[in-house]
Structure formats: C-alpha cells, structure tokens
Structure 1
Amino acid sequence: MSSRHLLPFRRTAVVIGALLFAAGCTTPQQDQAPAAGNQPAPQVENSAATRTAAAEATPAAAAPAISPPEILGTTVFEPPTVSSMRPTGTVVGQKIESLRDDLLRLQQQLADENNQLQSLRISARQFAGNYHSLKAAMNARLQVGTTPGNPELVAQWNQAQSELQQVGASIAALNTLASQVSGTASLSAFLLESTSTTFELRGAVEEDHRQLAVLEDEVNKTVVVIDRLLNELTDDIARTQNYFANERLNLTAMQVAIDNGEYIGGSLANRAYGVPAPAPAGGAVSQVGSRQPLAVIRFHRDNVQYEQALFTVVGAALERRPNAAFDIVAVAPAGSDSARVALDTNRSRRNAENVLRTLTNMGLPADRMTLSATSSPSVQVNEVHIYVR
C-alpha cells in the first residue's frame, strides 16, 4: 500500500493516542465531575482494601455467643422455679398444696446451703492466695540466698502458716455442710416418694393429676440439684484435704530452708509412695563396711551444714525408686578406750537423730526410715551413714 493510502490511518492513530493520553492525565476531580447532560455512571470498586473496609463496616452475622467454660469449684446450685397451683377444693388438692409448701421449704434450705458453700469457697481461695503470695516471696528470698534464720522470713513463715491453717479450718466447715446437705437429700427423696404415691389417692379430679405431674417434675429437678451439690461438695472436701496435707509438708520443708538460709526444695513426701523395701536380714548396722552408702555425713566440727546435699541425694534416690526406704546408721570411731567409745557413740547417735529429724521435716515419712548405731575402726570422726533399701 502506498504512503498516500497510509496517511489517513496514521492520523487516526495519532488522534486515538492523544485521546487516550488525555484520558490518562485527567485529574480525579475531572473524573468525578459528570458530563453535561449525562447522569454520573456508578462507580464499581473491587480493591482488596475496599472489600476489607466494607467487611468491617458491615455488622457481623448474628453468631451464637460462646460462653467461657465454667471453672471447677465455682458451680452455683440454684433450685428450679415452683409453679403456682390453683386450689381445686378436693382432698387431693389439699395434699398437693401441702407438698408444694414442703418443696418450697426444701428449696429454701438448698439455697441456704448453696450460699454457705459459696462463702466457704471464697474465703478458702482468699486464704490460699495469701498463703501462696507469702510462699512465693519466701522462695524468692531463699533462691538468691539469705542469712540463716532470717527474722523477716521467720515472720513471713508464721503468717503463711496462719493462712494455711485457715484453709484447713474450712475442711471442718465443709464436712459440717456435707452432713446438712445429706439430710436435705434424704428429705428430697422422701418428698419425691410422697409426690409419687399421691397419684394413688382416691377422690382426685383431672386438674389434681395435672398439677401433681407438674409438681413431681419440679421435685425431680430439685433432687438432681441437691445430688450435684452433694457430689461437688464431696470433691471439694477431698481436694482441700489433699492440698492442705501437701502444703503443710512443703511449709515444714521450707522451715528447714529458712533455718539454713538457702532454698532446699519441696516436700519429699511428694516423691515417696508405695510400700518400702523390707529391712536387711542382719540389720542396718551390718551394711557398714559391706555396702556403699548413699551419703556419709562427717561431723568433724560443730554446725555442719548438710541439709541441702542431703535433700538432693535423697530426692534423687526417690525419683529413681519412689518406694525406697532409708537406713540411718550412727557410726562412731572404735578404740581401746571404752569410755571414749561410749561418749562418741552417744554423740554419733544424737547426730543421727538430728539427721532423721531433718528428713522428717523435709517430708520423708517416718515409716521409711530406721535408726541404729555402731562403731567402726575405719572411721576417725563421728559419722552418719545413709543406706538405701
């Protein structure tokens, strides 16, 4: 094709390109202004930001609200509502009114017992919270080390013991409340049986049986609530008893740590369980020189600090063998002077008794330990040997 024929096409392309360039350079204000005589075209926005903003602006669909799970030991036991009954004037109707009054009294008793339980729970949590705050403060001081028998820690320990005793006092109150709830459960069972047998009475109209069926359902619901209260109350008593026993042992072990001014650990009772191994046939003294002891404490001077090392080795032994038992043997030097041997034996026995007392304070049950004394020419100072069995 000749250049003369291409000229109109080139001019057309130039015009179209100029129009496109002008359209691309049009300002936003010019785009928003409607053309004369024309209606503004609807704007369609499909960007991700626009969709997100629209989603945030649009209220969410009505989704079912999910309530948080109920915390153990916080159940509130509310009795169901008792329906009002229209008197029918029959003998059975009068019996229904009497049963309804009995149910109302029973529910009032249930409400009072529920209030007592909630009050005991609140006070026990408060005392336990105070106890653990004091315990954490003492552990923080002991972890970095402090002076032996620090009076500030002793005061905190006494306060912690007082708070823990308040938790223990709640156990007696819970047991008393459990007896009351047991009586209420017996009354509810009797009321349910009375309501069921009322159907057999003669002289009732249809309205009586309708009211009696409603009353029986409400008594059944009340019986269920009382049973749940009694079951949860029993669980609370068992849980509080275990908590109190364990923390009392931990507090006793902390007393040893305060006496030494350094952190030792929790009670050894938390690691010991099962039936301990029987004592050796020849007695504990037969193990001296024939077996490798778990630990040897040499009392070559006064105020030997052995508690931390003793706790560590005994705790490790219980982790390996939770049913382990321990033989504590006081070993005195043997010599030609019988008076000297007798004196050393008495001192060594007192040292062994102190070791046994220390382990008891650390939480090791007394039935897992034996105490004996002997003398040996292989030792130069009073020693206490600890053997595992």
Structure 2
Amino acid sequence: MALKKTHAAALCAVLLASGCSFAEDVLFPTSGTVAPAQGEGVAGEVPPAMGTGSYEPIGVTAGSPTGTFVGGKVMALRADLQALQATLARQNQSLQQIRNETVQDSQRYHGTVAAINARLQVGTTPGNPVLTQQWNAAQGELDRITDDVLKMNRLTNDVTASSTMAGFLLDSVRSARSLSGAVDEDHRQLRILEDETNRTVVMVERLLSELTSDSIRQQQYVASEKQNLNTLALGIKNGALFAGGLTSRVNASYESTGPARTLASGEAPLVTIRFDKPNVNYEPALYAAIKSALDRRPSATFDVVAVSPVGNTPGTQALAATNAKRNADSVLRSLTNMNLPASRVRTSSTTSPAVAGGEVQVFVR
C-alpha cells in the first residue's frame, strides 16, 4: 500500500488491540513532507541477484512398529515429517521455477530497454513511434516481473506455514520422549526422528530467509524500474536520453552506513509489536507510526529488532529466536509493501529477560 494520510486517532484502538504500542515522544519536531520512493539511475540497470540455494529434503529413516502406544505415536510423527518434507520439496521446486522465470523475464526486459537507450543516446525524433512501441513492450515485460514477485510473496506465505508446522512437529517429537509405556526401541527411533526433524526445521528456516530476501530485493527493483520507465518515456517524448536525474540524488540522501540500533541504547521504540496471539493485526498501527515519523523527518530511517525471551535451555532459546526473526521478517515485508525503500530499514535481533514472549521493536534513526 502507498503511504497516505490516515487519521491517527482512528487507529488508537487498533494499536492496542493488535498488540502494538506507540511511543509518540520519540517522533521528531521537525516538519516536512514525505519524499516519494524513487528508483535509481536509468532504466536498464542490472537487476539484483537472487539466491542460489536448493532445499531438497533429507529424507526420513524408516522404523519398525514396537506395539506400544509410544511406538504408534512415533509412526504418526514420522508420517507427519514425511508429509512436511514432501511439501518442502514442492516449495523448493516452485522456488527454482520462479527464479528461472524471473531471470528470463528480466533478460527480455533489459534487452528492450537497452535498445531504447541506444537509440536515445544518439538522438532521434520526438515521439518516435518505434520507440513508443518498444516502451510499451518493456512495460509489459516489467509487469511479468511483477507477477514473478507476487509468486514469490505467495510462496513466502506457504513456506511460513511450513515453518510453523516444522516447529510444532519438533515440539511434538520432544514431548513424546516423556510419555510413559515406551521401550528402548521407541526412544531410539525418537532420537533419530528428532535429529531429522531438527535438520528439516533448519532447512525450512534457511529457505524462508533466502526467499524473503529475494522477494524484498525484487520488489524494490520493480519499484525502481517503474520510475525509470517514466524517465525513459520523457526521453522518448523529447527524442533525447534523460540520464540520472533527481532519482539517484534523492536515494543517495537516504543511504545509511551506521550500525543497527540495539536495546542497550535505552531509547524507547517507535512501535512494539507483541506476537502473543495468532494473526496479530499490527499493520494499521505500524503504518500510522511510520507515517507520523516520516511527516516529521522525511529522511528518517528505521531499525527493526527481533526481540526474543531468554530461554531455560539452549533449544527453547534458539526456537524463540527463530520465531522472533520470522516475525521481524513479516514486519519488514509489511514496510516494503508500504513503499518504504529497503535501503532505509535495518534489521537485527537480540534477547531480553524483560520480554515474556517474542516481539518486534521498531526504532527511528
């Protein structure tokens, strides 16, 4: 969604109901208007590289029935892991297909744009119909790249569901070890199943992380190229190439090389999103807070910090950190969908004994 004017008071109830808290006192007193998100340079620049990982399931070790209640539980959990890995295999196949389609669509797009740039470089007649036809073709090719990004987003949602299922399955396998009525063979099979489930959890999280990064980079790239096509349209209208322009200068002013903020700074977060229930509706409150910050300081940048509680064991702490990072990735995707450039957002993670459950904190820089 585009950043647009919203009545802040109308969102106060949503802000509380969705598990978000808003720190008004950290916003800035300076005035100004929000600078629009712009693309960089001239259309036809090289698209961002996508990940190259392939996430093939590791397989599930077969086991023999023991005749006990726990043995039956092991068989059911093993079947669940096999189903999860089959889903993961399909998702990996979809990822590779989307990547191939995106590469092909990008090559066609850049070939068309390069032809337009070459003609404009040496000069041509204003409103050249051949260049206009090529521009329309480039617009259609960029729309296909947009469709590829939408496929990435849908796949990201599917993999997020798989990640949740993997975490639940790992907890179930660990819980089965405490059931009474088991024989030694049941516990041996449970140990093998736990190891394989744990490796599957790691694989799903890596897939989700790489897919999220690909999706965000491609979204920003498409937004940039849409602006650059507008620059090309102006060049075709005038019969001369308009290189660079204001777009690169605007984005250069937003570039940040400072480190991500940490909780040790003692500053109150702009927004705290507590993921203490399923389907937290945080986006309205997040939108209102970000827009207010940008209204006061158009050049503001933001830190998204995944905060997880300190666990009793290394395993529970690692699982909590993974869930917090996944929630932070969701917040990052929301900010991108609000047309906030990725170059203006930093992500990090930390633990805190003061946090009962996973939460995401957003700071202003």
Q: Normalised by the size of structure 1, how large is the TM-score? A: 0.51
C-alpha distance in 1 between matches for 2:158 and 2:245: 36
What per-residue deviation string (whole Å, max 9, x for no partner) do you get for residues 92-130 of structure 1?
111111100000000111111111111111111111110
1:215 counterpart residue number: 193
Aligned to 1:141: 119
Flag the 1:267–1:237 CA change in 2: closer, same or farther, 3 A: farther
* 1-structure distance, mates of 2:52, 2:195: 26
SS at match of 1:94: helix
Runs of 4+ off more than 6 Å: none
Task: Determine helix, strand or coil for the equivalent of 1:164.
Answer: helix
Q: Deviations over 1:219-248 (max 9, x none)?
A: 000000100111111101110111001111
1:188 alignment partner AA: A
Q: Which residue of 1 aligns with 2:105?
A: 127
Aligned amino acid, residue 121 of structure 2? Q
Q: Which residue of 1 is the match for residue 169 of structure 2?
A: 191
The amino acid that maps onto 1:117 is: L
C-alpha distance in 1, partners of 2:252/2:222?
A: 21
Residue in 2 that maps onto 1:231: 209
Contact 1:148–1:261 (Cα < 8 Å) also in 2: yes
SS at match of 1:271: helix
Q: Tell me how far 1:159 sits from its aligned partner.
A: 0.3
> Which has the larger Rg?
1
Supply the distance in 2 between the matched residues of 1:82 and 1:107 (Cα, whole angstroms).
9
Does the 8 Å contact 1:113/1:181 carry over to 2?
yes
Tell whether the 8 Å contact from 2:50 to 2:214 is kept in structure 1 after alignment.
no
What SS is found at the alignment partner of 1:240?
helix
TM-score between both structures, scaled by the size of structure 2: 0.55
Identity %: 46
Equivalent of 2:92 in 95, 114, 120? 114
Equivalent AA in structure 2 for residue 153 of structure 1: L
Cα distance change, pair 92–267 in 1 and its aligned pair in 2 (3 A):
farther
Q: How does 1:228-377 map to 2 (within 5 A)?
A: 228-266=206-244, 268-273=246-251
Q: Which amino acid aligns with 1:268?
A: L
Deviations 1:329-381 (A, max 9, x none): xxxxxxxxxxxxxxxxxxxxxxxxxxxxxxxxxxxxxxxxxxxxxxxxxxxxx
Q: How has the CA–CA distance of structure 1 residues 107 and 134 changed in structure 2, closer, same or farther, with 3 Å as cutoff?
A: same
Aligned CA RMSD, in angstroms, stands at: 1.9
Q: Contact 2:59–2:82 at 8 Å: present in 1 too? A: no
| Distance across 2 between alignment mates of 1:267 and 1:158 | 22
CA shift, 1:87, in A, is 1.6
Structure 1 residue 267: deviation in Å?
Answer: 5.3
Higher relative contact order (CA 8 A, sep 6+): 2
Give the Cα–Cα distance (whole angstroms) in 2 for the partners of residues 169 and 197 of structure 1: 42
Q: Does 1:101 align with 2:73?
A: no
Q: Deviations over 1:163-182 (max 9, x none)?
A: 00111122222221111111
